[in-house]
Amino acid sequence: MEHHGCWKLLTAALIIAVAARTAAAQTQAPSAQDLANQANNPAAPLSLIQFRDILVPHIEGASGPSNGLQVQPVLPIGPFASFPHVQLVKITLPLAISLPDPVAQKGIGDLQIFDLLTFKTSWGQLGIGPVLVFPTASDTALGSGKYEAGPAGAVMYTGVKNLTAGAVIQNPISYSGAADRDDVNAMLITPTFTFNLNDGWFVGIADYNWTIDWTKGGSVLLPLGLQVGRVVRIGKQPVSLSIEAGGALLRPADSPRPGWIMGFEFSPIFNFHLGPGTKIRARGV
C-alpha cells in the first residue's frame, strides 16, 4: 500500500509540474522573432507607437535637406463576442517638418486617422475601412488645406513562415477646406515585403508611400529602397528599430529630382488594446 501511495504522490507531482510548465509557457513573452513578424505586419493586432523620421539630404533646386518627423500610434480594438473582428486605429501626425529654400518652412503637417477592420484568412489578413485627413498644418506649404475622406484597405500574405508581403492602400479625396487650394485625390500604396530572421532581425523593402495623383492624370511618385532592423528589449520594453535608404524610381515630370531618401524608425511595442481580445504579452509581465 505504501508503495502504491508513493506512485500516486509521484503521479500527482508530475501532473502539477506539467501544468505549471504549461501555464508558464502560455504566459511567457513572445520571442523577438514573433514580435518582428507582428510589428512588420500593418494588419496585425499589435499596439505600438512609431516615431519615424524621413530625411532627404539633397533635392534638385533646393538649398538644403528636407526632413520630416512623424508619430504614429496604433491601437487594436476587439474582438468582441458579438463582433469577432479586430479594428485597428492608426493616427499619423507629422510633428516636425522642415523644408529647405526656396520654401523655407518649418512646422507640423496634416493629421490623418486610419481605421481598418481586419479579417483573418487561411493565407493572411484582409482589411477595409476609411481614411480621414484634417488640415492641421501650421503653414500652407506643409499641408493640403483640405478636409479629406476616402476608402482604405490592406492585403497581407503570411502563408510563408517569417515572411510578410502585401500592401496598405488609401485614397483620400478632398471634400471641403480652403477654396483657393488645389483639390486632393490621390492613391497611397504602402508596400510590405519583409523577411523576419532570427534574434529579431528583419530585412525587406522600405515602406515608403507610392503615390498616384488622379488630379494630375495619374502621375506616379514611386520611391524604392531597402530596410533593415531589429526588435530588441530595453529593460523589459520591446522596441522595433530600423533604418531604410533608397531613391525615387519614378517621379512626376514637373517635380524636382530627390537624391537619397533615408528613413529611421523607433517603435515601442505594448501589450494593450481595447476590448476582451487576447493581448500580446510583449513585456512578459
In this prediction, residue 109 carries a pLDDT of 96
In the chain, where the domains are located: 1-29, 31-270
- 3-class DSSP state for residue 187? strand
Residue 62: per-residue pLDDT: 84
Give the CATH number of domain 31-270. 2.40.160.40
Give pLDDT < 50 ranges for the chain: 1-3, 6, 9-10, 12-27, 279-285
Burial class (CB within 10 angstroms; exposed 0-12, middle 13-18, buried 19+) of 277: middle
Q: How far apart are CA 41 and CA 44, in angstroms?
A: 5
CA angle at 89 for the pair 199 and 223, rounded to the nearest 5°: 65
Alpha carbons 19 and 13: distance in angstroms, whole number: 10
pTM for the model: 0.84
Q: How far apart are CA 43 and CA 4, in angstroms?
A: 55
| Residues 281 and 272: beta-carbon distance below 8 Å | no
